[in-house]
């Protein structure tokens, strides 16, 4: 603090901040890269005054003071410029002389991050790094009674169904009568979840699309990607690649003018339509694209003026009840594509999920149910929603699966699980656990940003500035100066890497369980957990 | 891995034929059980004109309860065979009071009922008896069906057969299934002993069914009273077959398309591809993942054998017109039909269903990639 400064309630010291930037004067070349790259301007070039006491040898004269100045890096303590720990400064430093370190105690910044009466908003996930999925083990290993399979050499069919699967009797009866059978897509069980064109930068979106197209067309893996609420670039809507895309409609209906206009010119049907009623990261809250990110391109695709925040309503304003939402909306969306495209709702993990599911079971059109658990990520939400609202995905998906099994409708309405899958890097293990708990497919979003584009956000509140378009990696920014850091080709390459390695790991899990012919949906006898309460709740084995 | 043996013969055979074949394959079973299924019966049972036969094991008390129950329903005993057992069972075989094989006259008030209704009531009666037996542990009921006898017991097959004196002239059949059990994952329980039976459909299996739990959940939620039990993971194969025959109207050629559907690229080229793709989607819950070999008998006395998609279990079909055999191992087949043309022996692979129709003239191989017969 300067000598003539005052202390106000929100005056913080560096010690009060969550991240302290350590700078090594000896190695610094003052090149300025760190201050230039810092997305929140947490550091600046500054002048430091230094006093040296000179005492001549033998005290031939009186000791004296020598005052000098030097230049260096100073960390700001203004809450608006608090370091977010992204470590871009370290990434660009030629001499590794700068690095943010996490404070050794809880920061005081959290009490001051609501200036102007605005609660904190951020991107990322719930700030809880651990999860139940990582505790689940696969215990039913084929030993002598039946041979474990060879994950490297065996023939596997890792496919799942997206669409309303009729009971066998009904399906055969309709085939005999040549009646309408709901469309069903056979897809890869790992999907890229909804991240909108707007939440993501054009380069990131393009990279994902290219990766997905490569996986489908070159590697024969029917991977699908959901758009989130924000529409689609017009050329994509009119291209053959649309069949790999799941279009999302949410309460803001952003981008749907463009989609409807493209309908007559579509070469291919989309894979499916996802109706978003909720999102795991901010249950019961609508989508949010803050004004920082609404540039000309995004505004044009969404059909809105540029430079305004786009908060979607918390619920679809045209619907007042579940039967309206489920029946009318799903049926209208079916009608738009001549009943050839599956339509399914996506909801937040919630204790009311069973009520939604039961309603879907009585609707002959509902093609699936996607449940997004509390650990899901988002591009922008209030911190309080992210950290304190929601329902864990594991027990939610399990309850829904067992409910369907009781009704004799297991897998007839495929359950898609999302929300924190692979948040500690164990993607295949988490996905397999969810599948064996009853999910037909699993969605990943934050994971693919981390793995395919180098997102540095973490569940210990690192970075998480997706909402203001300052993403230092250019993943969630609409500023060309930032997103040009991201090469779409390289993103596509990483997407392919992720799916190929996931495929190998999933086989490495399934093969020892003796499974290869079909995805082991609901194979709960293969699961165990070292937590009695969790085992009881999930109806799996308790193993110690 | 259990050993399986099935045979169909123009001339009625005694059970010893299949028991001896099992004994030849004795390395593959551990004495934890033997199960026998007889149909297309010869001897005195041939004259019964469709009277249902009850097979099971009863304590003396259980037999009294059975008689009271059957009298109340209106069933009258028409014919029975008495198995006189020595006082002391051999090692490994539990002491039982009565091994029952008894044919009944239908109750008078069943006259005029449709076949379907009679079949339904026979199943309900068997399930009722099973439930009663489980309550007091005094009855084990295997089957209650016309022209079907089942015998199961814990122990080594040949020892059990000698103990029960199965080499007898009044117990003969043209179609027999036999299994020597290698106990793996579940308790030694006679309801876990193969073959399994439901409404004329019998199957037996070796190996382990790794997709057991989801399949069981599916079957138990069909709302059909017979889909219960599952002390063995192999019982689902019988019920899937019953479900596809009775509920879906699909013949045996379709069975493999239900339990091990073709992969997508093969379906693209299949003459019935679009139908099979739909079948694959809606019957997804019944896809098995092996490793299993399934042998079985249909209500019309057709024998069949199928393998799972991985073909990790042995099976061979062979014989001559009038006598065909399906065996886990070649030595079982050699023991049963030594004078056959061995060049015609067939080992079904991952796409094959081997079918021997009741005329017993040939082994028909139905490959999954071939066109399917029309559905009625």
Q: Please name the helix (run of DSSP H) or strand (run of DSSP E) that holds residue A138, with its range, or none.
A: strand A136-138
Nearest to A520 by CA among A442, A439, A443, A415: A439
Determine contact: B247 vs chain A, CB below 8 A.
yes
> How far, in Å, CA of A447 to CA of A95, rounded?
30
pLDDT at B290: 80
Nearest CA in chain A to B275: A175
pLDDT at B187: 57
Chain A residues lying within 8 Å of B279, measured CB to CB:
168, 171-172
Determine contact: A377 vs chain B, CB below 8 A.
no
> How far, in Å, CA of A34 to CA of A535, rounded?
49
Six token digits for residue A459:
């569940």
Q: Please name the helix (run of DSSP H) or strand (run of DSSP E) that holds residue A52, with its range, or none.
A: strand A43-54
Hey, are the CB atoms on B208 and A146 less than 8 Å from each other? Answer: yes
What residues in chain A have per-residue pLDDT under 50? none
Q: Please name the helix (run of DSSP H) or strand (run of DSSP E) that holds residue A190, with its range, or none.
A: strand A190-192
- What does DSSP assign to residue A216? H
Chain A residues lying within 8 Å of B222, measured CB to CB:
408
- Chain A interface disruption, residue of B289, B291, B311, B351, most A CBs within 10 A: B289
Hey, are the CB atoms on A517 and B310 less than 8 Å from each other? Answer: yes
pLDDT digits (tens, 9 = 90+) for B194-242: 999 999 999 999 888 899 999 999 999 999 999 999 988 999 999 999 9
- Chain A interface disruption, residue of B32, B214, B290, B349, most A CBs within 10 A: B214
Q: Measured between CB atoms, which of B211, B282, B375 is closest to A168?
A: B282
At residue B158's C-alpha, the angle toward residues B63 and B11, to 5°, is 85
pLDDT of B152 > 90? The answer is: yes
Chain-centroid distance of CA A104 in Å reads: 28
pLDDT digits (tens, 9 = 90+) for B240-267: 999 999 999 999 999 999 999 999 889 9
Question: Quick one: pLDDT band at residue B192, thresholds 50, 70, 90?
Answer: confident
Hey, are the CB atoms on A522 and B214 less than 8 Å from each other? Answer: yes
pLDDT of B186 > 70? The answer is: no
Hey, are the CB atoms on A518 and B211 less than 8 Å from each other? Answer: yes
Shortest Cα distance from B333 to chain A (angstroms)? 24
Chain B 37-76, residues with CB within 8 Å of chain A CB atoms = none
Nearest to A507 by CA among A216, A222, A189: A189
Six token digits for residue B185:
């994952």
- Chain B interface disruption, residue of A437, A518, A519, most B CBs within 10 A: A518
Question: Quick one: pLDDT band at residue B188, thresholds 50, 70, 90?
Answer: low
Determine contact: B227 vs chain A, CB below 8 A.
no
pTM here is: 0.95
**Buried b / exposed e along A302-326 (16+ C-beta atoms within 10 A):** bebeeeeebebeeebeebeebeebb
> How far, in Å, CA of A143 to CA of A378, rounded?
43
Hey, are the CB atoms on B278 and A161 less than 8 Å from each other? Answer: no
Hey, are the CB atoms on A175 and B309 less than 8 Å from each other? Answer: no
DSSP secondary structure letters along B41-62: E-GGGGGGTT-EEEEEEE-HHH
Q: Measured between CB atoms, which of B185, B213, B281 is closest to A523?
A: B213
> How far, in Å, CA of A384 to CA of A403, rounded?
31
At residue A291's C-alpha, the angle toward residues A290 and A297, to 5°, is 110
Shortest Cα distance from A167 to chain B (angstroms)? 6
Q: Measured between CB atoms, which of A147, A176, A184 is closest to B281?
A: A184
**Helix A488-510 vs helix A202-217: angle between axes, to the nearest 10 degrees?**
50
Using CB atoms within 10 A of its CB, is residue A340 exposed (0-12), middle (13-18) or buried (19+)? exposed
On whether the CB atoms of residues B216 and B236 are closer than 8 A, the answer is yes
Shortest Cα distance from B183 to chain A (angstroms)? 9
Hey, are the CB atoms on B207 and A169 less than 8 Å from each other? Answer: no
Q: Measured between CB atoms, which of A166, A181, A407 is closest to B221?
A: A407
Nearest to A249 by CA among A346, A123, A109: A346
On whether the CB atoms of residues A330 and A360 are closer than 8 A, the answer is no
> How far, in Å, CA of A446 to CA of B325, rounded?
59
**Helix A393-407 vs helix A353-361: angle between axes, to the nearest 10 degrees?**
30
Any residues with CB less than 8 A from the CB of B124 and at least 6 apart, and which?
Answer: B225
Q: Where are the beta strands (DSSP E) in chain B?
A: 3-13, 34-41, 52-58, 76-82, 98-105, 139-146, 148-153, 173-180, 196-198, 201-207, 292-297, 303-307, 316-320, 323-327, 352-356, 364-367
Determine contact: A146 vs chain B, CB below 8 A.
yes
> How far, in Å, CA of B178 to CA of B157, rounded?
9
Hey, are the CB atoms on A157 and B263 less than 8 Å from each other? Answer: yes
> How far, in Å, CA of B281 to CA of A283, rounded?
33
> How far, in Å, CA of B306 to CA of B326, rounded?
11
Angstrom CA distances, A296 to A228, A478, A479, B269, stand at 19, 10, 11, 49
Chain-centroid distance of CA A467 in Å reads: 13
Determine contact: A147 vs chain B, CB below 8 A.
yes
pLDDT of B1 > 70? The answer is: no
> How far, in Å, CA of A174 to CA of A184, rounded?
15
Q: Measured between CB atoms, which of A175, A411, A515 is closest to B211?
A: A515
Hey, are the CB atoms on B248 and A405 less than 8 Å from each other? Answer: no
- What does DSSP assign to residue B245? I
Q: Measured between CB atoms, which of B208, B210, B282 is closest to A165?
A: B282
Chain B residues lying within 8 Å of A408, measured CB to CB:
218, 221-223
Chain A residues lying within 8 Å of B281, measured CB to CB:
161, 165, 171, 184, 186
**Helix A446-453 vs helix A202-217: angle between axes, to the nearest 10 degrees?**
90
Nearest CA in chain A to B248: A169
Hey, are the CB atoms on A157 and B281 less than 8 Å from each other? Answer: no
pLDDT at A401: 97
Determine contact: B282 vs chain A, CB below 8 A.
yes
Q: Measured between CB atoms, which of B208, B278, B290 is closest to A181?
A: B278
Chain A 404-463, residues with CB within 8 Å of chain B CB atoms = 405-411
Shortest Cα distance from A384 to chain B (angstroms)? 39
pLDDT digits (tens, 9 = 90+) for B17-72: 999 999 999 877 777 789 999 999 999 999 998 999 999 999 999 999 999 999 99
On whether the CB atoms of residues A194 and A372 are closer than 8 A, the answer is no
pLDDT at A423: 95
Any residues with CB less than 8 A from the CB of B82 and at least 6 apart, and which?
Answer: none
């Amino acid at each position: 603090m300067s000598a003539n400064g005052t202390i106000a309630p929100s005056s913080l010291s560096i010690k009060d901040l969550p991240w302290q930037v350590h700078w090594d004067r000896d190695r610094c070349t003052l090149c300025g890269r760190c201050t230039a790259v810092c997305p929140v301007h947490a550091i600046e070039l500054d002048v430091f005054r230094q006093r040296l006491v000179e005492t001549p040898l033998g005290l031939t004269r009186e000791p004296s003071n020598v005052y000098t100045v030097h230049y260096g890096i100073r960390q700001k303590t203004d809450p608006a410029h608090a370091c977010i720990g992204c470590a871009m400064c370290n990434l660009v430093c030629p001499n590794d002389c700068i690095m943010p370190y996490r404070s050794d105690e809880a920061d005081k910044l959290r009490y001051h991050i609501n200036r102007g009466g605005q609660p904190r908003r951020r991107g990322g996930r719930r700030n809880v790094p651990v999860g139940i999925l990582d505790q689940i083990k696969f215990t039913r290993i084929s030993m002598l009674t039946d041979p474990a399979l060879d994950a490297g050499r065996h023939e596997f069919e890792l496919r799942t169904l997206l669409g309303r699967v009729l009971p066998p009797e009904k399906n055969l009866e309709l085939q005999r009568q040549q009646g309408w059978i709901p469309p069903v897509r056979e897809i890869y069980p790992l999907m890229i979840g909804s991240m909108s064109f707007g939440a993501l930068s054009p380069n990131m979106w393009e990279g994902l699309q290219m990766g997905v197209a490569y996986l489908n067309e070159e590697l024969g893996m029917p991977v699908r990607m959901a758009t989130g609420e924000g529409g689609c670039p017009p050329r994509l809507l009119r291209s053959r690649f649309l069949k790999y895309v799941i279009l999302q409609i949410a309460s803001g209906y952003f981008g749907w003018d463009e989609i409807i206009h493209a309908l007559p010119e579509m070469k291919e049907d989309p894979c499916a339509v996802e109706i978003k009623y909720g999102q795991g990261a901010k249950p019961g809250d609508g989508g949010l694209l803050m004004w920082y990110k609404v540039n000309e391109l995004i505004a044009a695709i969404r059909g809105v003026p540029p430079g305004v925040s786009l908060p979607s309503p918390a619920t679809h304003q045209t619907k007042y009840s579940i039967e309206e939402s489920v029946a009318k909306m799903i049926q209208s969306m079916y009608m738009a594509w001549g009943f050839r495209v599956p339509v399914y709702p996506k909801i937040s993990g919630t204790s009311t999920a069973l009520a939604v599911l039961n309603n879907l079971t009585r609707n002959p059109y509902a093609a699936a149910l996607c449940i997004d658990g509390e650990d899901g990520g988002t591009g922008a939400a209030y911190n309080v929603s992210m950290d304190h609202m929601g329902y864990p995905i594991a027990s939610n998906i399990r309850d829904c699966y067992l409910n369907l099994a009781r009704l004799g409708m297991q897998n007839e309405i495929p359950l898609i699980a999302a929300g924190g899958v692979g948040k500690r890097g164990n993607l295949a293990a988490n996905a397999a656990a969810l599948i064996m708990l009853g999910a037909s497919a699993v969605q990943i979003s934050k994971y693919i940003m981390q793995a395919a584009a180098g997102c540095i956000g973490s569940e210990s509140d690192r970075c998480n500035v997706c909402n203001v378009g300052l993403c230092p990696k250019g993943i969630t920014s609409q500023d060309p100066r930032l997103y040009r850091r991201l090469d779409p080709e390289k993103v596509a390459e990483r997407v392919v890497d992720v799916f190929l390695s996931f495929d190998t790991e999933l086989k490495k899990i399934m093969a020892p369980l003796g499974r290869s012919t079909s995805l082991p949906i609901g194979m709960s006898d293969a699961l165990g957990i070292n937590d009695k309460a969790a085992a009881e709740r999930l109806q799996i084995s308790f193993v110690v | 891995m259990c050993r399986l043996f099935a045979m169909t013969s123009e001339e009625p055979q005694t059970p010893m034929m299949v028991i001896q074949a099992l004994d030849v394959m004795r390395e593959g079973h551990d004495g934890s059980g033997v199960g026998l299924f007889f149909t297309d019966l010869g001897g005195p049972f041939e004259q019964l004109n469709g009277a249902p036969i009850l097979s099971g094991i009863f304590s003396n008390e259980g037999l009294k309860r059975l008689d009271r129950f059957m009298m109340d329903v209106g069933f009258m005993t028409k014919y029975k065979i008495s198995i006189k057992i020595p006082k002391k069972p051999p090692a490994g075989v539990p002491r039982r009071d009565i091994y029952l094989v008894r044919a009944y006259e239908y109750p008078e008030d069943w006259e005029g009922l449709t076949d379907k209704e009679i079949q339904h009531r026979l199943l309900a009666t068997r399930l009722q008896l099973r439930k009663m037996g489980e309550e007091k542990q005094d009855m084990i009921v295997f089957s209650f069906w016309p022209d079907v006898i089942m015998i199961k017991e814990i122990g080594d097959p040949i020892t059990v057969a000698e103990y029960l004196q199965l080499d007898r002239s009044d117990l003969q059949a043209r179609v027999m299934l036999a299994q020597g059990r290698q106990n793996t994952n579940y308790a030694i329980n006679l309801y876990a002993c193969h073959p399994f039976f439901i409404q004329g459909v019998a199957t037996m299996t070796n190996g382990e069914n790794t997709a057991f739990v989801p399949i069981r959940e599916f079957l138990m939620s069909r709302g059909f009273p017979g889909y219960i039990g599952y002390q063995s993971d192999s019982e689902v194969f019988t019920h899937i077959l019953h479900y596809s025959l009775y509920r879906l109207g699909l013949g045996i050629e379709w069975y493999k398309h239900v339990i091990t559907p073709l992969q997508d690229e093969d379906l693209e080229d299949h003459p019935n591809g679009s139908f099979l793709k739909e079948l694959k989607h809606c019957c997804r819950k019944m896809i098995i993942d092996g490793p299993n070999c399934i042998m079985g008998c249909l209500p019309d006395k057709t024998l069949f054998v199928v393998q799972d998609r991985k073909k990790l279990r042995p099976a061979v079909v062979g014989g001559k017109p009038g006598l065909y055999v399906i065996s886990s191992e070649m030595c079982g087949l050699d023991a049963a039909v030594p004078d056959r043309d061995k060049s015609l022996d067939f080992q079904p692979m991952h796409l094959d269903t081997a079918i021997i129709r009741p005329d017993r003239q040939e082994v028909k191989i139905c490959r999954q990639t071939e066109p399917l017969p029309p559905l009625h």
